[in-house]
Amino acid sequence: MSSTPKEFLESNLNSIRSTIEASCQKAGRAPCDVQILGVSKTVEPDIMEQAFDLGIKEFGENRVQEYLRKSDILHRDCCWHIIGRIQTNKVKYLDSRVKLIHSLDRMELAEALSERGSKINHRFPVLIQVNVAGEETKAGISPQGAKDFALRVSRLGNIDIKGLMTIAPYTETPEEVRYVFRSIKQLSVDIMRERVENINMEVLSMGMSNDFHIAVEEGATMVRIGSALFGERVY
Ligand SMILES: *Cc1c(COP(=O)(O)O)cnc(C)c1O
């Protein structure tokens, strides 16, 4: 018997929630401290609306254009996050409808956001993307450079740093990338010690379908879940 899209989403969501609960139990954390961000790239709005009705109120898109298209047609009051690399020439499309930008990975982008923010009188909440494993194919600031980068960004206007984001290397055995999540957590503690007014480390955006159980054990406050919720993407 085949299930409806809603039943499919519901059963996926139940299993994601149980996994988060189990990881929290292991780590002595409260499950309500871990938010599920629905990664909706390539997912059509009608399916997103069903996920919304099941409790996923916030969605992450990796492309600005896709976010713009969907935010105009989605019939629900959801919150939007940008999680993918942002070209500087797309910053002009961003405004207060974006709740959080996860992918601040270079000074040029920070400067463009600051300029845009001052133009529209908005402070952009951002996460600094950190590339722990040093993978060349992935964006992000090196862990060694992250604190200096955060301090430089904090001197710009109209940007509030809310935490860190990372993408761990893909692996069949996620236990291997535990160190990635652990070092992001430690880095957030180090940066917090600087006590800078517009730097906060309340959000650790880490963990995807394949590895979120480990990320939650290591302190993730937001997990970015695509395929484990919506099914495998077909490009
Ligand atoms: C696609 C994507 C995800 C979700 O990936 P899944 O493995 O499908 O959960 C998370 N974060 C970023 C930045 C992505 O681009």
**Per-residue pLDDT tens for 24-60?**
999 999 999 999 999 999 999 999 999 999 999 999 9
Going from the Cα of 197 to the center of ligand 1, the distance in angstroms, rounded, reads 31
pLDDT at 2 over 90: no
Mean of the pLDDT values across residues 3-10?
A: 93
- Per domain, the residue ranges of the chain are 6-229
Superfamily designation of domain 6-229: Alanine racemase (3.20.20.10)
Nearest to 65 by CA among 46, 100, 31, 91: 91
For residue 82, what pLDDT band results from cuts at 50, 70 and 90?
A: very high
Q: How many CB atoms lie within 10 A of CB 165?
A: 26
Ligand 1 atom closest to residue 210's alpha carbon, by position in its atom list: 7
Expressed in percent and rounded to 5, the helix, strand and coil fractions of the chain are: 45, 20, 35
Q: How far is CA 59 from CA 41, 51, 221, 224, in A?
A: 9, 10, 15, 9
Rounded Cα–Cα distance for residues 174 and 177 (Å) = 5
Mean of the pLDDT values across residues 67-82?
A: 95
User: pTM score, two decimals?
Assistant: 0.97
φ and ψ of 197, to 5 deg: -55, -50
Going from the Cα of 121 to the center of ligand 1, the distance in angstroms, rounded, reads 31
Chain segment 120-144, per-residue pLDDT in tens:
999 999 999 999 999 988 999 999 9
Ligand 1 atom closest to residue 102's alpha carbon, by position in its atom list: 13
